Amino acid sequence: MIKRFRFGNPIETDTVINKCDISLETIDKFTVTNEEKLVFTYQMDPQDVVYGLGENINGINKRNFTYISRCMDGSRHTEDRNSLYAAHNFMLIKGKETFGVFFDVAGIISFDVGETDIDKLIVTSDDQDLDVYIIDGTSMQDIVTQFRAMIGRSYIPPKWAFGYHQSRWFYKTEDDFREIAKKYQEAKIPLDAIYMDIDYMDEYSSFTINRKNLPNFEGLVSEMKEQGIHLVPIIDAGIKVKPGYNIYEEGVKGNHFCKDANGNDFKCGVWPGYCHLVDVLNDEHRKWFGDQYKFLLDKGIDGIWNDMNEPSIFYTDERLNEAYEMVDRLRGSELDLQTYFGMRKKFSTLSSNPKDYQLFYHDINGKKIRHDKVHNLYGYNLSRAAGEAFERMSPDKRILFFSRSSMIGMHRYSGIWTGDNHAWWSHLKLSIHQMPNINMCGFLYTGSDIGGFGSDTNEELMTRWVEFGIFTPLMRNHSQSRRAQELYVFNHTETFKNLVELRYALIPYLYSEFVKAALNNDSYFKPLSFVYEDDARTYNIEDQLMVGESIMIAPVYEQNCRGRYVYLPEDMKMIKYRSLDDYEEVEMSKGDHYINVVLNELIFFIRKNHVVPMAKPALTTKDMDFDNLYLLSYVKDPIEYVLYDDDGYTTDMEREEHFHKITVNNNECHCTSKKVTLL
């Protein structure tokens, strides 16, 4: 049951597509005060658990910290960061009362989950105009499923998006890309995609190619595709101010850019230098921006990532001038410490400065609206521009697409990656925590930069991160580090080969569970408590996750750890994996276990009376046979598993022929449409 409460006269966010009527009652779960800001307060019991809030720092349970939905480019995801790149305003409270709550608002909103007062959840909206949805249900998953049904089906990528992907902000020339492909092939490590970062563009201008480094871009795309490898270029939000650059010229002529207070095209500094920002909150301008993606699709591209769409602003003239003036004023004088630190701060706060987001305006249905009022809609709509364009330009074939910035609503058009993490153990753990909460907010296609984006990784960290990455829908190794981290550069290449082979072998299961989750408004990653709601122990377990209906994972995420405690909420079968020819299967009983897991081993668990369909891996998904499947199983009673499988591209996913029934009974298995063998 969902109730919707209205405050003031909110701006439409297009997040909720199946809206219930506005309730005439007053909201009962929260006390509401309305002074300068709208404040919702909920009294929490000590044992209440708070899930949700999607991409944020800290644990799966969000208690005892404050999270602010203010989409923001910030490259150090430290323990004190209140905002990352996203605005995911859905949360689930489980305890004396159990309910979901979604704050549908375009502006800045903060969630103080017991930081100021350990017993209080205090939600403060800068904007007094918003809708609040309260969702009751029969279980936590039921609440999330109702929420998801209300916001519409999640984005589903093509099947090759479940392969292993290599990226690094480093590759430049055609030979660089060829070499990555070749080295992976020589190491016999499967690979489905190589990413192109901003260097493939001409002066960082979106929808251009640097022809000096990539004279035959189109040829390279098809040469790679013949090998089963997709090139995935980046698109940046800021459009370079540069006479003669077609996107700039057309944008100015068509009035597609955001305006400053005087009605001129707003100017800010990002990678290309001075940039304009497309007014993607306006339907016409958003469509115009979306149309530009044709440039890449026409060249054979079928995967793209969107970056810097918070929008990230490095500087504006306004802020720079303040800083210059300060320097001019201070030059030559002796600085007292106060002044010195003040000057440093002037410079260190140039980027992502909240004041800059007050300098420009959108035209929403003829109404001029200052950006800060609708800030969190920007990245969402920039990626929506692309998603809508793909539906127009490629109606029969799914395109791989994910975005850095996001707000709920964008989940219908795009996946997300979790941005600029570091090669820190704490960030491997963070990504484990982020996955289920991100899923609750509708984003199913997601993953973190494996190995860490910033700082140099090491072989041990990389190994453990790949072991976890095997289960994330987006499995991408990406970095900007000095040290190379392609998997073939490490000593124990064989271990990485074995691990990536497991990923490929699991694709039938991972893809099936992913698409079913999208079609049924279910989650792909779940906290254990979602499945074992009555088992109080599971609420304290944040380092194990359910992956689809059959698997529980227990990643190793600490330096020099060669084992870990695992809690089994029911009897399960452990798979201790070293390679596809060398793994152990051990039936284990409900309860606590200490399990040794040396560096070249990976453990995961199969729930009782469940199966995991697998296929023979190949160097790319294109070369795999998905009609001959092998079942890992832990089956004591007759069971049926519904396998989802299709051609990997179709946009017509609900067709009955994509659902294949597998039955297992007494060591025999059977499938109507595929050959299946029990392992």
Tell me how far, at minimum, the Cβ of 315 lies from ligand MIG, in Å: 13
Give the count of beta carbons closer than 10 Å to the beta carbon of residue 535: 15
Written as one letter, the residue type at 15 is T
Binding mask 439-458 for ligand MIG (x = CB under 6 A): --------------x-----
Residues 6+ apart with CB under 8 A from 493: 187, 189, 487
Q: Which 240-299 residues touch ligand MIG, going by CB under 6 A?
A: none
Interatomic CA distance for residues 251 and 265, integer angstroms: 10
Q: Based on CB atoms, which residue is closest to ligand MIG, 453 or 514?
A: 453
Q: Based on CB atoms, which residue is closest to ligand MIG, 480 or 600?
A: 480
Q: In this structure, what DSSP letter does residue 211 have?
A: T
- Closest-by-Cβ residue to ligand MIG is 169
Tell me how far, at minimum, the Cβ of 275 lies from ligand MIG, in Å: 13
Instruction: Specify whether the CB–CB gap between 389 and 294 falls below 8 A.
Output: yes
Interatomic CA distance for residues 164 and 618, integer angstroms: 11
Q: What is the CA radius of gyration of the chain?
A: 25
Residue 95, CB-side half-sphere exposure with 13 Å CA sphere: 15
Q: Based on CB atoms, which residue is closest to ligand MIG, 169 or 315?
A: 169
Q: Based on CB atoms, which residue is closest to ligand MIG, 23 or 480?
A: 480
Q: Based on CB atoms, which residue is closest to ligand MIG, 402 or 539?
A: 402
- Among 302, 420, 501, 646, indicate the residue that binds ligand MIG (CB under 6 A): 420
Q: Based on CB atoms, which residue is closest to ligand MIG, 453 or 490?
A: 453
Q: Does 55 bind ligand MIG (CB under 6 A)?
A: no
Q: Does 645 bind ligand MIG (CB under 6 A)?
A: no
Q: Does 480 bind ligand MIG (CB under 6 A)?
A: yes
Tell me how far, at minimum, the Cβ of 453 lies from ligand MIG, in Å: 6
Q: Based on CB atoms, which residue is closest to ligand MIG, 82 or 481?
A: 481
Q: Does 356 bind ligand MIG (CB under 6 A)?
A: no
Q: What is the DSSP string of 536-569?
A: GGGGG--S-EEETTTEEE----STT--EEEEEES
Tell me how far, at minimum, the Cβ of 384 lies from ligand MIG, in Å: 19
Tell me how far, at minimum, the Cβ of 269 lies from ligand MIG, in Å: 12
Q: Does 197 bind ligand MIG (CB under 6 A)?
A: yes
Q: Does 169 bind ligand MIG (CB under 6 A)?
A: yes
- Among 307, 310, 549, 645, indicate the residue that binds ligand MIG (CB under 6 A): 307
Tell me how far, at minimum, the Cβ of 401 lies from ligand MIG, in Å: 15
Instruction: Specify whether the CB–CB gap between 92 and 143 falls below 8 A.
Output: yes
479 alpha-carbon distance from chain centroid = 16
**Any bridge partners for residue 101, and if so which?**
91, 134
The SS3 call for residue 511 is helix
Q: Based on CB atoms, which residue is closest to ligand MIG, 478 or 503?
A: 478
Q: Quote the tokens at residue 226.
A: 């013949």
The SS3 call for residue 101 is strand
Q: Does 543 bind ligand MIG (CB under 6 A)?
A: no
- Among 4, 242, 285, 404, indicate the residue that binds ligand MIG (CB under 6 A): 404
The SS3 call for residue 385 is helix
Residues in the chain: 679
Q: Based on CB atoms, which residue is closest to ligand MIG, 200 or 567?
A: 200
Q: Quote the tokens at residue 150.
A: 């209300």
Q: Does 52 bind ligand MIG (CB under 6 A)?
A: no
Q: Does 198 bind ligand MIG (CB under 6 A)?
A: yes
Q: What is the DSSP string of 574-619?
A: EEEEEETTEEEEEEE-SEEEEEE--TT-EEEEEETTEEEEE----S
Written as one letter, the residue type at 222 is S
Tell me which residues touch ligand MIG (CB under 6 A): 169, 197-198, 234, 307, 404, 419-420, 453, 478, 480
